[in-house]
Structure 1
Amino acid sequence: MEAFKKSIKSQTIPLCVLDTQGSFSNIPFVFFYENTAGSSEFMPSDALRDSFYEMMQRFPIFAGRVKSTGRGNTSVVVDANNPNMPDYSESSCGVHFDTLKENGFCWRSWPDGIATAGPMTRADASGEIRLINVHVVRMQDNSGVAIYFSIPHYIVDGVAHMEIMKYWCQVYQLQRSGQSERLAGLPVFSVDRSIIQESLPKERKPVDALTHQTFTGFSLIAELLAWLSPKLRGRLLSMVIARQKAEAHLFHVSKASLESLRTTIGALLPEAAAIPNSELLLSVTAKTLAQSQALATGAGASSTKKDTATLPLAVIFEVREYLNLTFKNYSGNALVPLITSTPLKMLETPTTPESLVTMISKFSKTVDSVDPGLVASHIEMVMPRPSCFTRPIARFAGNKTAMSFVYDLMPDMYEADFGNGRPSWVSPIEPFRANAVLLLTSHDNTDGIDVFLTAYPSVMKEVLKNEFWCDFAKLIY
């Protein structure tokens, strides 16, 4: 830790709208490692801690504070004389790893207090927004280790989050094997947001009307949110999310289920075999949540006042490939949300091959529109408008059906190997905002996709009874 403190240099790192548009939430995952050999030297605490702070020397941004200078202009300010130190803690618990396995790693079996930061980006008890939170929990009888690893979306997206976790694993393994001299050869990650502008392709394509309106239209609520300090905004949004009392579940959609669905719709949609898994899941989850919302509220598609009602949906795409950032080790956010709106009457109809084909055809237009020209146009649209990052949340705030769908599969979290093999289990924490869908690499990475899905409690009750969804997706917990 002392070497890390000495390495800190005062600097200001400007963030951009691609960072602030996701700044409301953390990226909080827990990695579970089993001590299968019963070794007394299994992932020792001092080695984990030392390698973590060695890694931190390569990421000085995590010693900074998020500062806003009005209307959304945001930077991370690093003060060498008063660093905002990472929240790194260690503890032990009375839960045996076998208990976790017997309960399928469900959330209720986790040790109490494992998550030291919640789902939303807010100040902790000390009054600071920590830019990385780590909690190492040693299981009963040294049967295993659980590592909570959380970073605010201000700093990274899911891709960068996983790369930093793997970087820690690399540093740990090199130090444990007596190869510290090789640390200098590890990749250098960039936090320079100017890379985004420098990487814009030459092509341009107009942004769709609804996304353009969402990010450029005036909203007093959005402007007020953008003017608030990150700490106050985080506190207010955390209160709003807490009132939702959202319920989360983890589901598994097997390759067999996905192929069966393609076969079912193949007679109506000749290109069904080429439809990406994410697009299929976007269509199915949107229909499932809309149907469940209608049943929960008792206001189904037959309601005349719902003739023009729509479901606002933010489909979030990871765009490193379109910006050629894949070889630059960029550790900031590279996410672009497209805002769509679908008639509820279309979504609430029973899930049949015909209704699914209708939805897939609609969402395909959104998915197929994402190319280098659209990404460049979106970035040029938001960059001169630093306060526009609050406009989607202001637009969605009053709509209980509004949904977010992260289109790209999260990177393989099971690659986080500290030298004892892949983790036994990896999972996000349970609390989250309502009506969100996140696609995860399955524990069995040869079969299908895990789906983290959240909803209001009354809506989730209907999701768990939805006949099509329950046939298509297996409940994990």
Structure 2
Amino acid sequence: MEEYVNSIKSQIIPLSVIDTQGSFSNIPFVFFYENKENSDDFMPSEKLHNSFFRTMQCFPVFAGRINSTGIGNVSVVVDANDINTPEYIEDTSNIPFSRLKDAGFNWSAWPKGVATAGPMTCAGVDGEIKLINVHVIRLKNNSGLLIYLSIPHYILDGEGHMEVMRRWCQIYRLMDSGRLSAVDELPVYTFDRAILQQNLSDKRSPVDSMTYKTFTESSYLSEWFAWISPKLRGYILSKAIELQHTEAHLFHVSNKSFASLRELLRSYIPDIDTVSVNQLLLSLATKTLAQSQMVADGRTFDDGVVADDALLPVAVIFETREQLGIENTKYIGNVLMPKITTPSMKKLETPTNAESLASTLSTFNDTVNNIGPPLVASHIEMVSNRPSCFTRPITRFVRSKTAMSFVYDVMPDMYVADFGNGRPEWVSPIQPFRANAVLLLTSHDTTDGVDVFMTAFPKVMKEVLRNEFWTSIAKIIY
């Protein structure tokens, strides 16, 4: 710990609007490791702790505090004399690893209190917003352990989250083999947000109308929400999430299911093999949630309650490292770009069959097929000129119980997080989350399909689980 403290240098890291537009939530995942050899020396506590804080030397940003100076201008301030020490907690549990494994790692089987930070970015018990939270729980008779790792979206995105985990695993293995000095040979990360502006395309393409409207039209609520402190904003959002009582489930869509879906659609979309699994899931999940909301409201798709011109806001969120040309730079920050589209609610609510799903796929074509460097440059330019605009999407969406968010790109492979005893037996998000969100995850069997994390209000989720088309394609894990 002393070495870590001495390594921290005072600095200010200005955050971009690309960071703040996702700043409301944390990125929390839990990694499960089994002691397959029944070793007394399985992932020893001291080595895990020491390797973690050696890893933190590679990420000095986590020693800082979120500081807001004016509406929308946010930075991480690292003060070497007043470090915001990363939270690292280790506990034990009387639950054996076998019980978790037999339960399929269902959330209901987990030890109590795994998540020490929750789904939204807010202050902890010490009154500070920690920029990284780790909770290690060693299971009964050292049969295994789980590692909860949560990082605020202020600091990084899903790729950055996994980069932290990968580096921790690397350093642990080097420490375990007596080659800790080799850490200095590992690639160095950059946290300089100027890299985004430096890599913008010289060309521009128009931002679609709904995205432009969402980010440029302010309201008293959005401006107030941007003006208040990060701690107060986090507190309000965390309480709002609690009141939602959101229900979440994890599903698996196999390669076989994707193949059957393509065959079903082929007569309507001859080039269906060129349509990505991401777009297939975007279309199917959006229709399923819309239909489930309709049934939960006691409506039918042809009862005339919903106007013909009613629209359903969907924020489709894209990872843009490739478009910016920075995929090999070891940049730690956010590069997520939302496109907000509004498909017809009535069309989404029609029963899912080959014809209606093909129609939904075509609706999303423009959304997913025009993510090039000129559009990314236009989006970054648009939000950078309006620092307070980062609160406008959430204050607009919060007024709609049907508005959805869909993270388009599959999260990086989390099963590569190997501390030297093999890949994790399971990796999972935490259960509490905001409603109407869909996140795509690498499957446990990394060669077969995609796992889908979906959230909804309880009455809506009840109908999702009854939706015949969805459940024929997506098999529930828990």
TM-score, length basis structure 1: 0.99
Deviations 1:116-152 (A, max 9, x none): 1100000001100000000111000000010000000
Whether 1:103 aligns to 2:106 is no
Give the letter for the 1:322 counterpart: Q
In structure 2, how many angstroms separate the alpha carbons of the residues matched to 1:227 and 1:271?
49
Which residue is equivalent to 1:165? 165
Report deviation, 1:36: 0.2
CA apart distance, 1:27? 0.3
* Aligned 1:390-469 pairs, distance under 5 A: 390-469=391-470
* Pair 1:263-2:271 in alignment: no
Change beyond 3 A, Cα 1:298–1:428: same
For 1:394, give the aligned amino acid.
T
Aligned residue number for residue 230 of structure 1? 230
Alignment map for 1:62-101 (pairs within 5 Å) = 62-101=62-101
Distance, in Å, in 1 between the alignment partners of 2:467 and 2:446 is 26
Aligned partner letter, 1:71: I
* Alpha-carbon separation, structure 1, partners of 2:300 and 2:11: 55
Give the C-alpha shift of residue 451 in structure 1: 0.2
Matched, 1:178 2:178: yes
CA distance in 2, matches of 1:235, 1:272: 45
Q: Hey, what does 1:130 align to over in structure 2?
A: 130
Distance 1:81 1:230 in 2: 22
State the 4+ residue runs in structure 1 displaced beyond 6 angstroms: none
Q: 1:361 Cα shift?
A: 0.5
In the alignment, does 2:265 pair up with 1:251? no
Alignment-mate amino acid for residue 295 of structure 2: L
Same amino acid, percent of matched pairs: 59
| Rounded Cα–Cα distance in structure 2 between residues aligned with 1:303 and 1:76 | 52
Counterpart residue number, 1:337? 338
Aligned to 2:20: 20
Q: Which residue of 2 aligns with 1:40?
A: 40
Taking the TM superposition and a 5 Å limit, the aligned residue runs for 1:139-218 are 139-218=139-218
The residue identity in structure 1 corresponding to 2:314 is L
Matches of 1:136 and 1:65, distance apart in 2: 23
2:312 is the counterpart of 1:311: yes
On the 8 A contact 2:299/2:305 being kept in 1, the answer is: no
Q: How far did 1:10 drift?
A: 1.2
Q: Which residue of 2 aligns with 1:320?
A: 321
Aligned residues: 477
Query: Could you give the per-residue CA deviations for residues 405-427 of structure 1, whole angstroms, max 9, x where no partner exists?
Result: 00000000000000011100000
Once the two structures are TM-superposed, the CA of residue 300 in structure 1 deviates from its matched residue by 3.3
In 1, distance between residues paired with 2:149 and 2:41?
Answer: 22
Partner of 2:473: 472
Q: Distance in 1 between matches of 2:202 and 2:431?
A: 42
Alpha-carbon shift at residue 303 of structure 1 (Å) = 4.1
Q: Distance in 1 between matches of 2:79 and 2:179?
A: 32
Partner of 2:215, secondary structure, is helix
Which residue does 1:348 correspond to in 2? 349
Deviation at 1:40, TM superposition (A): 0.3
Letter in 1 for 2:124: D
Q: Distance in 2 between matches of 1:189 and 1:220?
A: 39
Secondary structure in structure 2 of the residue aligned to 1:342: coil
Distance 1:251 1:211 in 2: 29
Take 2:216 and 2:294, find their aligned partners in 1: how far apart are those partners?
31
Secondary structure at the aligned position of 1:175 is classed as helix
Distance 2:284 2:147 in 1: 33
Measured after TM superposition, the shift of residue 305 of structure 1 is 4.3
Instruction: Please tell me the residue identity of whatever aligns with 1:343.
Output: S
Superposed, which structure 2 residues align to 1:265-280 within 5 Å?
265-280=265-280
Counterpart check, 1:388 vs 2:389: yes
- Contact preservation (8 Å) 2:33, 2:144: yes
**Deviation, structure 1 residue 343:** 1.3
Tell me the amino acid that sits aligned with residue 448 of structure 2. Answer: D
Residues 353-403 of structure 1, C-alpha deviations (whole Å, 9 max, x = no match): 000010001111110111111000000000111110100001111101000
* CA-CA distance at 1:299 after TM superposition: 2.9
Whole-Å Cα distance in 2 between the matches of residues 380 and 102 of structure 1? 50
Which residue does the alignment assign to 2:10? 10
In structure 2, runs of 5+ residues without a counterpart are none
Work out whether residues 317 and 406 of structure 1, in 8 Å CA contact, stay in contact via their aligned partners in 2. Answer: yes
CA drift of 1:302 comes to 2.7
Answer yes or no: is the 8 Å Cα contact 1:15–1:193 preserved in 2.
yes
Between 214-223 and 449-458, the greater mean CA deviation after superposition: 214-223
Aligned AA (1:38): N
CA distance in 2, matches of 1:82, 1:212: 40
CA contact (8 A) 1:301 1:344 kept: no
Task: Report the counterpart of residue 291 of structure 2 in structure 1.
Answer: 291
Aligned with 1:159: secondary structure? helix
**Structure 1: runs of 5 or more not aligned:** none
Q: In 1, distance between residues paired with 2:220 and 2:376?
A: 27
* SS of residue matched to 1:452: strand
